[in-house]
């Protein structure tokens, strides 16, 4: 009975952690919103599923190899990721052809690539997997490999699912905007990306000063 309670507890914890990570403000969520607003649900969807592509090596490195990663390593990731987010924000703000009717129902690999780069160079997964999710994964794996896999699955169902839901809401709502407000909102998203990218750089550099 106690074993089953542990299994249920880990699955619920995975869902809760994933949901919290999925809806927390950050570079990837901002990129999901911006892509959905600019090019539709397909583009937002491709960005939202990026963690499924990039987190496997992060988990392996963070949990199995780099348990005691030096601060300069994480700071370097943060600076690279922050600069890339700033670049995306400037590109969004300076977009001269925003179109509410853009037909990109399926998105493309460029959206997936942008999301993957932002997520991989975001130090948050590198910090959380060794300290939070990693120990829980090990705890579940010792109980049974299926329990460990169940924890990981519940976490990614929640984090990706919440971002996909946000992408769908934004993409649907953009059609209710006129061209002027659409452009203003898109520029606001660009400014938000620049601010988040700059904050990521400053936060990363401050850790090694």
What pTM was estimated for this model as a whole? 0.77
Confidence of residue 10 (pLDDT cuts 50, 70, 90): confident
29-72 pLDDT, tens per residue? Answer: 889 998 998 888 999 999 999 999 888 888 887 667 655 667 78
pLDDT of residue 109: 82
pLDDT of residue 153: 93
Provide mean pLDDT across the span 198-204: 81
State how far the alpha carbon of 148 is from the alpha carbons of 28, 55, 128, in Å: 26, 16, 16
pLDDT tops 90 at residue 8 = no
Confidence of residue 23 (pLDDT cuts 50, 70, 90): confident
Mean pLDDT score of the chain: 81
141-161 pLDDT, tens per residue? Answer: 888 888 888 999 999 999 999
- How far, in Å, CA of 150 to CA of 134, rounded? 13
111-147 pLDDT, tens per residue? Answer: 899 999 998 888 778 777 877 787 778 778 888 888 8
pLDDT of residue 47: 94
């Amino acid at each position: 009975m106690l074993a089953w309670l542990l299994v249920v507890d880990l699955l619920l914890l995975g869902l809760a952690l994933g949901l919290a990570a999925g809806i927390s403000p950050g570079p990837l969520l901002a990129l999901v919103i911006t892509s959905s607003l600019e090019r539709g649900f397909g583009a937002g969807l491709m960005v939202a599923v990026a963690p499924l592509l990039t987190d496997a090596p992060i988990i392996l490195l963070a949990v199995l190899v780099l348990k005691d990663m030096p601060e300069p390593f994480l700071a370097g990731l943060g600076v690279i990721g922050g600069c890339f987010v700033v670049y995306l924000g400037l590109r969004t703000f300076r977009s001269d052809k925003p179109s509410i009717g853009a037909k990109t129902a399926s998105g493309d690999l460029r959206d997936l690539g942008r999301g993957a780069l932002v997520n991989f160079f975001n130090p948050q997964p590198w910090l959380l997997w060794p300290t939070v999710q990693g120990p829980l994964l090990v705890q579940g794996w010792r109980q049974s490999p299926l329990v460990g896999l169940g924890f990981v699955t519940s976490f990614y169902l929640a984090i990706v699912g919440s971002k996909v839901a946000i992408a769908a809401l934004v993409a649907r709502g953009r059609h209710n905007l006129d061209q002027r407000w659409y452009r203003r909102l898109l520029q606001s998203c660009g400014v938000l990306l620049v601010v988040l990218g700059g904050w990521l750089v400053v936060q990363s550099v401050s850790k090694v000063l």
